[in-house]
Amino acid sequence: MWQYLLDRRELIAFQAYQHVSLVVQCVVLATVLAVGLAVLSYRSARVTSLANSVSAIGLTIPSFALLGLLLAPFGFGITPAVVAVVFYAALPVLRNALVGLSGVDQSLVESARGIGMSRLTTLRRVELPLAWPVILAGVRVSTQMVMGIAAVAAYVLGPGLGSLIFSGLSRLGGANALNATLVGTIAIVLLALVLDVVLVLVGRLTTSRGIRV
Amino acid sequence: MTAAVDLAVTAPETVEPGGRRDGVAWRGLLVQPALIVVVAVAFVVWRSTATLTDAEARPLGWSALGGSILDHLQLVAVAAVVVLAVGIPLGVLLTRGPFRRASPLVLGVANTGQAAPAIGLFVLLATWLGFGFGSAVVALVLYSVLPVLRNTMVGLQGVDARLVEAGRGMGMSALAVLLRVELPLAVPVVLSGVRTALVLLVGTATLATFIDGGGLGLLITTGINLNLDTLLYSGALLVALLALAVDWVGRVVETLARPKGL
Amino acid sequence: MSETLTHAGDPAHDRTVSGVAIRLEGVTKRYPGQSEPAVDAVDLEIAAGETVMFVGPSGCGKTTLLKMLNRLIEPSGGKIFLGDEDVTGQDPDQLRRRIGYVIQAGGLFPHMTVGTNIGLVPGMLKWDRKRIAERIDELLDLVGLDPEVYRDRFPKELSGGQQQRVGVARALAADPPVLLMDEPFGAVDPITRQRLQDELLRIQEELGKTIVFVTHDFDEAVKLGDRIVVFDVGARVVQYDTPEAILAEPAEDYVADFVGAGATLKQLTLTRVGDTGLHTPVTAAAGEDSAAVVTRATAAGEQYVVVTDGRGRPISWPSVAELTRTTTVPATRDERLPVVGLRSTLNDALDTMLAASQGGVVVTGRRDAVAGVLVVEQVMAAIQSTRGETRG
């Protein structure tokens, strides 16, 4: 296996890079979308409840099924992979953003308005910073989850480490089949751990010291 | 690989460890089956009226379709039984006496295990145990035992230590406290873990087809390989419906089994 | 402290005793890795039917000592006797079924109804169902909760004070001779705490259990205890005596510090409401004809009337003038009605008057029935007299 790693270090590094790049870009996009949606809906209990249901139901849909459904409109390639990964990444962030925003103490919002902040300024200076730790917790969940989903996305010719696993599968019994699968799987777990640590650090740096636990 | 995660436990900040307040919960519980029934009826109508080519008609014949669904459910059921039989007792054990020290480690592994790609697990097990139903079940169990284990532990750890002491203090044996106080109070969290695991199982079982484990995944892979969109759609749709149905049953059970008084 | 502390003579109460004596001989608790024992060879004798209060700074080992009595903490050495029986080697579960245990907020199981909570120990002792049901109602009645209303409620539907009452009822369920209480009233507001203390005194008057009660509140110890044990680190017994004696003669400077300044006013906490000359008010049952009540009150020269419910418990305290404006005596319950028990201290009575902004309190006795009224002038007179005593 060591030999296998050495022989193909460039390919593996490239695929790892692609995998992480897919996940990171999708999670960033998903976070922006989900927080945006949450900001639009958190003030109405009805819309919040709807968004929560959508999030809960969306998470039950198997990723392989969704990838299949996306193949017809988008064809093989990177688009269905990106759409699916963004979809799943957005759901936990959406739910946590709703919880975080509606969990902000109303008296703080009132006092912000009371000292003359506009709605938008209140959101930007008070509500979002206070909800941020909760949102970030959602981002961490999302990241862990879509690291695995991105592996399945390789089946529809998306980029990343999943293709190592599938190439192992297609050559099962043959030389290096086990190595390919093992390397793909372990690399994904390791990268997920690294990303989680990075997110914890991001959390330390972006959370106000006053509310850090 | 599937998308279901137990947010309530993974992100402690999220509220509702097992559901919402009664009124809202029941309204939510009615929307979901309605959605499932409507889509299922639409599928049956489409299947009865659409003209299909030979290659499509064979796997989509009623008996073949029923067989695929049954295969899928069988994978889920067998794996679920093993998961419950292993996950809950192990979770209980890991919160008792000397094993308690291992619990942070196990919880850590359970949390990171989520990032492990299920497809990798399937393939690795197939290389070790060979292709087929057995390997698929083992992979499914390994993958979905984590939420049950984790929630059993978290649920039991969440029981107020003073209540345990009150129970011991009035002369209940350790077993009686476990059965009459700790487990009943942990039920909402444990059940939400069980539901998460079941939904995971339904979704992950689609990947069993890659190692000849059968199930609805076969429709999807066949559809993709032969470029037959109808097969692909049918498979994806049925798996999604099945996952939603299982999730709904889980929610109903959770609502019914929640101890009153909480 | 190795000398056994005993006390000759009963603390001047002729009352039913259903408790048994507790004797500790050299009881010790060492935790591995700690050089000093948490509890160091304590010898202590507690007479049957007495309430003994454990006080001392936090970390002094008083709670550890209490928990060794029912072996929630296993002693590292020494012997514990209930009556003449050495229980040190007994099966802890069996032992605990004979010892009631009350903790903060009651420790009620939230997923069981009030009735189920109370019936747990009798159930474990294999009582038959009918007897358990009767016992539950009897106990709810004893702690002043209507069984019909509260039996099937869940703990979360009860106020903090009510939960604590149920906690006491549960501990008494199998009629254990000994009751252990671990800071039970620590989490409730002062007014509720005072009512719960009164309730406990009343129950103890009826039952005469042996009660061991841990508290960090010296006033509570003075009010509830027949005797007080003052502990220092390692559960060293610094003083073991009646509240009066400890207040009058602290054994060491340490005790004097702990008792605190203002010992003159502390004497106020030693005088029970029941020991003062209570005034007997004119009472009226809700629903009675107002005119008749007004006549009765005028004849007695009273300006206020205590209105009671069907069981003789006070519900309001209107003036005669207010009653003349009604045809029948109203059954409305005045939530702010100032009430104290016979065994409350004058301190409690004064607090209650101040909290309700009233010049007097209604005093209740057995089963919360009206026993009299106490007015602020009587309290002031008592203060005057104690000040006179300490000066002289």
Condensed to tens digits (0 to 9), the pLDDT of residues A20-62 reads 988 999 999 999 999 999 998 888 888 888 887 788 778 878 8
Q: How high is the pLDDT of residue B11?
A: 34
DSSP state of A105: -
CA distance A98 to chain B (A): 9
Tell me the mean pLDDT in the region A119-130.
86
ipTM of the prediction:
0.76
Q: C95 at the B interface (CB within 8 A)?
A: yes
C-beta atoms surrounding B225 within 10 Å:
10
CA distance B11 to chain C (A): 25
Q: Tokens at residue B182, please?
A: 């700790």
Residue B143 has pLDDT above 60, yes or no: yes
- Which residues in chain C touch residue B167, judged by CB atoms under 8 angstroms apart? 109
Let me know how long chain B is. Answer: 262
Q: How far apart are CA C244 and CA C250, in angstroms?
A: 10
Q: How far apart are CA A96 and CA A52, in angstroms?
A: 9
Residue window 107-146, chain C: list those with CB within 8 Å of chain B: 107-113, 120-121, 124
Q: A47 at the B interface (CB within 8 A)?
A: no
Q: How high is the pLDDT of residue A26?
A: 93
Beta carbon pairs, B and C, within 8 Å:
66
CA distance B106 to chain A (A): 16
- In chain A, the percentage of residues whose pLDDT exceeds 90 is 15
- Which residues in chain B touch residue A165, judged by CB atoms under 8 angstroms apart? 117, 119-120, 123
* B228: nearest CA partner in chain A: A72
CA distance B230 to chain C (A): 51
Q: How far is CA C56 from CA A112, B234, C53, C368, in A?
A: 47, 74, 10, 33
CB B140 within 8 A of CB B208: yes
Residue B248 has pLDDT above 80, yes or no: yes
Which of B176-195 are b and which e, b meaning 16 or more Cβ less than 10 Å from the residue's Cβ?
A: ebbebbbbbbbbbbbbbbbb
Of C237, C188, C182, nearest to C211 by C-alpha is C182
Q: A48 at the B interface (CB within 8 A)?
A: no
C-beta atoms surrounding B73 within 10 Å:
17
Q: B229 at the A interface (CB within 8 A)?
A: yes
Q: How far apart are CA A76 and CA A155, in angstroms?
A: 9
Query: What SS3 state is found at C306?
Result: strand
Q: Do B15 and A61 touch (CB under 8 A)?
A: no
pLDDT tens, position by position, A55-110 = 877 887 888 888 878 877 887 778 888 898 999 999 999 989 998 998 888 888 88
Q: How high is the pLDDT of residue B108?
A: 78
Q: How far is CA A22 from CA A85, B26, C2, C217, in A?
A: 8, 39, 74, 63
Q: How far apart are CA C158 and CA C160, in angstroms?
A: 7
Residue A7 has pLDDT above 90, yes or no: no
Let me know how long chain A is. Answer: 213
- Which residues in chain B touch residue A193, judged by CB atoms under 8 angstroms apart? 112, 115
Q: How far apart are CA A153 and CA A87, in angstroms?
A: 13
Phi/psi at C219 (5° precision): -60, -40
* C158: nearest CA partner in chain B: B261
Residue window 112-171, chain B: list those with CB within 8 Å of chain C: 162-163, 165-171
* C167: nearest CA partner in chain B: B166
Q: How far is CA C129 from CA A118, B162, B222, C133, C323, in A?
A: 66, 28, 64, 6, 48
Q: Do C124 and B185 touch (CB under 8 A)?
A: no
Q: How high is the pLDDT of residue B20?
A: 39
What are the pLDDT tens digits along chain C (392 aa)?
Answer: 333 444 444 444 456 788 899 999 999 999 988 888 999 999 999 999 999 999 988 888 899 999 999 998 999 999 999 988 999 888 988 899 889 999 887 788 988 899 999 999 999 889 999 999 999 999 999 888 999 999 999 998 999 889 999 999 999 999 999 999 999 988 788 888 888 998 899 889 888 999 999 998 888 888 899 999 999 888 899 999 998 888 878 888 878 877 765 555 666 777 788 877 788 888 888 888 888 888 888 888 888 889 988 788 898 888 888 888 888 888 888 888 888 888 888 888 888 888 888 788 899 887 788 888 888 888 777 767 765 555 43
CB B69 within 8 A of CB B242: yes
Owner of token pair 């400890």: C246
DSSP state of C328: B
Phi/psi at C319 (5° precision): -85, 160
Q: Tokens at residue B238, please?
A: 């049925």
Residue A167 CB contacts under 8 Å (≥ 6 apart), including other chains: A180
Q: Tokens at residue A139, please?
A: 């981002």
Q: How far apart are CA C127 and CA C125, in angstroms?
A: 6
Q: How high is the pLDDT of residue B4?
A: 40
